[in-house]
A = this chain, B = another copy of it.
Amino acid sequence: MKILIIEDNQTICRQLGEFLAGHQWQIDFAHNAHLGVQLALEQIYDVILLDLNLPDRDGLLVCEEIKRSAEVTPPILMLTARDSFEDKAVGFRSGADDYLTKPFDLRELVLRCEALARRHSLHKSKTLTLGELTLDTRTKTAVHKGVLLDLTSIGFRILELLVNCYPEPASRAYIVHQLWGDSPPESDALKSHIYALRKSLDQSFDKPMIKTVMNVGYKLEQPCHVD
Contacts and interface: CB of A to CB of B under 8 A. Distances in A.
What's the number of copies of this chain in the assembled complex?
2
Nearest to A153: B215
A139 B216 contact: yes
Contact of A111 (B88, B112, B115, B215): B88
Contacts of A192: none
Given A92-B114, A97-B115, A121-B67, A168 B139 contact: yes
Interface residues of A, number: 38
Given A92-B115, A111-B88, A214 B105 contact: no
A92 B111 contact: yes
Main secondary structure of the interface of A (DSSP, over half): loop
B92 A140 contact: no
A108 interface: yes
Contacts of A68: 124-125
A59 interface: no
Contacts of A125: 68, 168
List the 3 closest A-B pairs by CB distance, nearest first. Answer: A92-B111, A73-B121, A153-B215
17 contacts: A67-B121, A67-B124, A73-B120, A73-B121, A85-B107, A89-B107, A92-B112, A92-B114, A98-B115, A99-B111, A120-B123, A125-B168, A139-B168, A139-B213, A140-B215, A140-B216, A153-B215
